[in-house]
Amino acid sequence: MSKDAKQGPPGGGSTLCDLCGRPARVVGPMIEMAPQPPKGESHLVCGQCLQLGLNVLQAQQKTQDATKLADLTIPSPQDLVAHLDRYVIGQEAAKLTMAVAVVNHYKRLTSIAQRDEDGPFADVELSKSNILLIGPTGCGKTLIAQTLAKTLDVPFAVGDATSLTQAGYVGEDVESLLLRLIMAADGNVAAAQRGIIYIDEIDKIAASRGNVSITRDVGGEGVQQALLKILEGTIANVPQAGGRKHPEQQYVQLDTSNILFICGGAFVGLDEAVARRIGRRQIGFGSESAFAEEIERSKDDLLAQVSPEDLHEYGMIPEFIGRLPVVVTIRHLTEDQLVDILLKPRHALVRQYQKLFHMDGVDLQFTDGAIRAIAGAAHKRGSGARGLRSVVEQVMIPINYRVGEIKSVGRLVVDEAVIAAAGKADVGRLIEQAKAGA
């Protein structure tokens, strides 16, 4: 707020800054600071003093952030994999590759912060290596990235590539991904600059092949082009709110050079491109379920041999592929792995439901046959671990509804017949069985 009441020397007729002592006619409008006890006097500060103070604070913040980055504790790849094992079932090769890539990324950041000019490798610059995750839906891509960020205690943001368009078109700009990371860092730009961004459904922005339209491919190659700079590293102007066309829009500058980008997608049909390149055909015999698992294994084996040429044939431009040098493939989950997912992780679905019922004073148990039936039903749906929650939610809705009656018994056992009923289980039978067992 401008203030003109505080006058300078007699005859001057000008407001003075309380810090530098210069008049308003020289330094411009003043800001009145709120009165502070015990005297309760207000103070006037000019814009130049405020800017100088801001510059000093920013310089101090950068020094502090560099110190924090240099002191960042980076676990070993073995420790990271051991932590991932608590949450992610299977995917051993993917977890190993991801752990090594993430550790190397943060080693690069600490080397930049330390600036060890006396060391034997002072002239060696470590390159940035973003990661491309390829694999079916519901098999752990997002979970692996999220768990790594949580372990390292760095900001983490998730974005969907399908919502992105080229600048000037209806949809989200690529800078919206950076805004989410800043928000995840509680507005701390320095912390956001060492965070992790996971871009899901990246295969959906593959360039359309054989497109004869003369219009721009706003959802495909155009988005890939827009992502190139932030993947490589640039100073991006991130709109804080309201979009770029907002009349009073303010921007935050964010350096993306040290942000780790992990891009994930199912890439449906990519295995066919690999098969054409290596001249392999899929042949299977046996029962329907065995044949289905054989096909899944065959697709996984093919994706493990993916090359930049295959990704280019799929519709990813060479420049985009080059900025994702670490390629990790995720395998389909087997029925046995789905059983383990139900029981073993810290956030296992069965344990979550047991906790919910425990809060109501009910001891909830699942028989081995029920666990196997849930895993089998989810495996048939082909949606990976996500299918497990769908099956369990459908089964447990009528049981949850009558939890008040179950409280009086204090115990409930879910068997294979309940799973087969698919949400139409005879809850009364379960209550009577619990009473008889008690």
pLDDT tens-digit map of 39-71: 667 788 888 888 888 777 766 665 555 445 555
Across 98-102, 135-139, 163-167, 396-400, least confident range? 163-167
Residues composing the chain? 438
E runs forming strands in 256-390: 260-265, 326-329, 363-366
The answer, yes or no, to whether residue 89 has pLDDT greater than 80, is yes
- Predicted local distance difference test score (pLDDT) of residue 209: 56
- Predicted local distance difference test score (pLDDT) of residue 423: 72
Average pLDDT of the segment spanning 247-263: 84
Average pLDDT of the segment spanning 216-230: 76
pLDDT band at 215 (very low <50, low <70, confident <90, very high): very low
pLDDT in tens, 25-44: 888 888 887 776 666 677 88
Query: With contact defined as beta carbons under 8 Å apart, do 377 and 388 qualify?
Result: no
This prediction's pTM: 0.74
Measure the CA–CA gap between 396 and 401, rounded to whole angstroms: 8
- Predicted local distance difference test score (pLDDT) of residue 244: 53
Give the count of beta carbons closer than 10 Å to the beta carbon of residue 435.
12
- Between 15 and 60, whose confidence is greater? 15
- Predicted local distance difference test score (pLDDT) of residue 61: 62
- Predicted local distance difference test score (pLDDT) of residue 311: 94
Tokens, residue 196? 């992790």
Residue 331 has what DSSP assignment? P
pLDDT in tens, 158-208: 998 888 875 545 457 788 899 999 999 988 888 899 899 999 999 999 876
The answer, yes or no, to whether residue 247 has pLDDT greater than 70, is no
Measure the CA–CA gap between 268 and 271, rounded to whole angstroms: 8
* Burial (0-12, 13-18, 19+ Cβ within 10 Å), 420: middle
Q: How many percent of the chain have pLDDT more than 90?
A: 36
Q: What DSSP letter does each residue of 154-174 carry, written as one string?
A: --EEEEEGGGB--TTSSSB-T
Give the count of beta carbons closer than 10 Å to the beta carbon of residue 386.
12
E runs forming strands in 330-395: 363-366
The CA-based diameter of the chain, rounded to the nearest angstrom, is 103
Tokens, residue 161? 């590539």
How far is the CA of 429 from the CAs of 41, 149, 181, 361, 426, in angstroms? Answer: 77, 46, 50, 20, 5
Tokens 């701390």 found at = 188
- Predicted local distance difference test score (pLDDT) of residue 337: 93
- Predicted local distance difference test score (pLDDT) of residue 407: 85
pLDDT band at 292 (very low <50, low <70, confident <90, very high): low
pLDDT winner (highest mean) among 73-77, 151-155, 404-408:
151-155
Q: Is 357 helix (H, G, I), strand (E, B) or coil?
A: helix
Average pLDDT of the segment spanning 197-225: 72
The answer, yes or no, to whether residue 428 has pLDDT greater than 90, is no
Measure the CA–CA gap between 401 and 398, rounded to whole angstroms: 5
Residue 271 has what DSSP assignment? H
From the centroid of its chain, how far is CA 17?
A: 48
pLDDT band at 10 (very low <50, low <70, confident <90, very high): very low
Q: How many percent of the chain have pLDDT more than 70?
A: 80
Measure the CA–CA gap between 266 and 201, rounded to whole angstroms: 7
Tokens, residue 382? 């082909």
- Predicted local distance difference test score (pLDDT) of residue 68: 54
Query: With contact defined as beta carbons under 8 Å apart, do 372 and 339 qualify?
Result: yes
Mean pLDDT of the chain: 81
pLDDT band at 404 (very low <50, low <70, confident <90, very high): confident
